[in-house]
Structure 1
Amino acid sequence: MTERERPRERTDGMRPAVLETYGPADLSAVPVFAGGFINFGYWQPGDIGRPLTVADRIRSQQDLYRHVLDTVGPVEGGEVLEVGCGLGVGCALALEEYAPARITGMDIHPQQLERARRANTGLLASAGPARFRLVRGAAERMPFGEAEFDRVYSVEAAQHFDDLEAFAAEAARVLRPGGRLAVASFFAADPAAPDPLAALLTTFADGLDIARQPADLTDALTRAGMEGARAKSIGPAVWPGWDHWLSAQWGPGTWPRNFLHAWERGLLDYYVVTAERPRA
């Protein structure tokens, strides 16, 4: 691990950049992340080359959740955990569209969890804790017993995890035999990428995001005893649409537009990583 990859000093269990971004700065309130979701979106081919609406943006973020839930499924009737649930709107989508027996949203940031409780007041009340709960916990230290969940998923949070080995071990521990994991996030596509990514993208330079390769996670999952760990790129469905959406608010040459440049240069890509806990 290079100095640039090494997590910065932690406060309250979080690196300072994570504490600020999801606390006082409230990334969920930034207009580019509409609807309470905080992800780059899973875009349709028809989205490119036409003006995009806020409804298009919200749909793209919902569709990323749907893609992950379809990948980790079947979800219906199961105990499901989202790691890094943010405002819990993805949990709400999973509960309403995929009918798990119960969805648990876990996040490390207490301010995010408070926002999630406010955002989902009605659904939390109507579903009750038997079907929907929000819990504070870290990806590396999950506050659950062994084999509690049939499915574990995470949407655009793994780039913040301090320790992928610990996350992989915890995911394997809390999954039931035959349970499946799906993690959607962006990873360095080149071993030499951390320094170029930090030069292009503020989030890597300030320690919010950590540059790891997808093999760092798939190998960690295999070492944790999971089977069939693999990473599949979904970059073509993410980066062009994300940049097109940004173009209405950020001009050429501004740093958020460099996500597309990093992908085009082979430095960064978006992946869905999957694995399964063996049945025996």
Structure 2
Amino acid sequence: MEREDTGTGREHPAIPPAVRETYGPMDLGHQPMFGGGFINFGYWQGIDLAGPLGEDERARSQQALYRHVLDAAGPLRQRRVLDVGCGLGTGCAVALREYGPAAVTGMDIHPDQLARAREEQAVLLREEPGRLRFGEGAAERMPWEDGAFDAVVSVEAAQHFPDLAGFAAETARVLRPGGTVAVTSFFTADEAPDRPEQLAGLLHTYANGLDIARPVTALADAFTAAGLTDVRTASIGPDVWPGWDTWLSRWWAPGTWPRNFLRAYENQILDYYVVTATRPR
């Protein structure tokens, strides 16, 4: 299924500097803000934010975000699933253990992340030979054959992708006819031209280029232009931002830049979405 570079111009894109630094020596999945092997803001529906939040609730929120996306991708039993931006592979493990797919492939652009994923998921790799694997690739240059997957998912990685049109085109290519894609990430809430400047002033991750400010319509339109159909966007901000901010309050005081994620949401600058689409049969 994996394709070799034949020298036809599909070279591996360079890793953006902020992505290389953030996901290189540091293992964010074991930082206290993340923990549990996941690197996402969490889906906090059903978690009591008024009560004490511990590591168990935090891990549960991150697992719930992955499950929300896996559910959105449709029934996955006996299907071949690609996770784009898989990080430590913990979401791949959730998919493999709970959804009964034929196989799960985790893809990441950062070799350090892939090395950690193989270490973190060593038991599953040994116990499920052929059903779990990891491969290096960029969202805009996937090293997989046409129609290789029944479902493509991506959890909180698209905010880093430099080229959403390239990601959409590659997603359409590697999906089989009838296959589905489900992506969750944060995007600007509208197409106002000053949103990038506003977010750079509020959030360090936008100022340093780690996150890219684009409206959710940019991804939806890219999927449509790539030939995918039934493109839908849904805000899940109410179940993400208040919980994330409550969790951050353990380390960050009001007015510090990480707490500005909630501020940007409340000011209708930023929101969190699930975007789904289907490759026509």
State TM-score, norm by structure 2: 0.93
Deviations 1:74-101 (A, max 9, x none): 0111000000000000000100000100
Deviations 1:38-85 (A, max 9, x none): 000000244221110100000000000000011112011100000000
Alpha carbons of structure 1 residues 12 and 275: separation in structure 2 relative to 1, 3 Å: closer
* One-letter amino acid of the structure 2 residue matched with residue 219 of structure 1: D
Question: Residue 20 of structure 1 corresponds to which residue in structure 2?
Answer: 21
* One-letter amino acid of the structure 2 residue matched with residue 240 of structure 1: P
**Residue of 255, 270, 279 corresponding to 1:277:** 279
Question: Residue 3 of structure 2 corresponds to which residue in structure 1?
Answer: none
**Residue of 182, 201, 204 corresponding to 2:203:** 201
C-alpha separation between the residues in 2 aligned to 1:46 and 1:17?
Answer: 32
CA apart distance, 1:26: 2.6
Question: Residue 175 of structure 1 corresponds to which residue in structure 2?
Answer: 175
Question: Residue 251 of structure 2 corresponds to which residue in structure 1?
Answer: 249
**Residue of 259, 265, 276 corresponding to 2:267:** 265
* One-letter amino acid of the structure 1 residue matched with residue 199 of structure 2: L
Secondary structure of the residue that 1:134 maps to in structure 2? strand
C-alpha separation between the residues in 2 aligned to 1:231 and 1:12?
Answer: 28
Gaps of 5+ in 2: 1-11
C-alpha separation between the residues in 1 aligned to 2:21 and 2:37?
Answer: 17
CA contact (8 A) 2:73 2:181 kept: yes
CA apart distance, 1:228: 1.2
* One-letter amino acid of the structure 2 residue matched with residue 226 of structure 1: L
Question: Residue 164 of structure 1 corresponds to which residue in structure 2?
Answer: 164
* One-letter amino acid of the structure 1 residue matched with residue 59 of structure 2: I
* One-letter amino acid of the structure 2 residue matched with residue 166 of structure 1: G
Deviations 1:176-204 (A, max 9, x none): 00000000000011323111100000000
Question: Residue 5 of structure 1 corresponds to which residue in structure 2?
Answer: none
C-alpha separation between the residues in 2 aligned to 1:170 and 1:235?
Answer: 27
Count of residue pairs brought into register by the alignment: 268
Gaps of 5+ in 1: 1-10
* 1:131 maps onto 2:131 in alignment: yes
Question: Residue 35 of structure 1 corresponds to which residue in structure 2?
Answer: 36
Alpha carbons of structure 1 residues 46 and 30: separation in structure 2 relative to 1, 3 Å: closer
Secondary structure of the residue that 2:186 maps to in structure 1? strand
Deviations 1:214-239 (A, max 9, x none): 10011011010000112110000000
* One-letter amino acid of the structure 2 residue matched with residue 143 of structure 1: P
* One-letter amino acid of the structure 2 residue matched with residue 220 of structure 1: A
Deviations 1:8-27 (A, max 9, x none): xxx97111110000002332
Question: Residue 213 of structure 1 corresponds to which residue in structure 2?
Answer: 215
State TM-score, norm by structure 1: 0.94
CA contact (8 A) 2:13 2:141 kept: no
Higher alpha-carbon deviation: 154-163 or 26-35: 26-35
Secondary structure of the residue that 1:36 maps to in structure 2? coil
Question: Residue 80 of structure 2 corresponds to which residue in structure 1?
Answer: 79
Question: Residue 8 of structure 2 corresponds to which residue in structure 1?
Answer: none
Following TM superposition, the consecutive aligned residue runs of length 4 or more in structure 1 with deviations greater than 3 angstroms are: none
* One-letter amino acid of the structure 1 residue matched with residue 172 of structure 2: A
- Percent of paired sites with the same residue: 62
CA contact (8 A) 2:13 2:138 kept: no
Question: Residue 4 of structure 1 corresponds to which residue in structure 2?
Answer: none
* One-letter amino acid of the structure 1 residue matched with residue 246 of structure 2: H
CA apart distance, 1:28: 2.0
* One-letter amino acid of the structure 2 residue matched with residue 140 of structure 1: E
Deviations 1:243-268 (A, max 9, x none): 01111111111111100000000000
Question: Residue 108 of structure 2 corresponds to which residue in structure 1?
Answer: 107
Higher alpha-carbon deviation: 248-257 or 56-65: 248-257
CA apart distance, 1:208: 0.2
CA apart distance, 1:159: 0.3
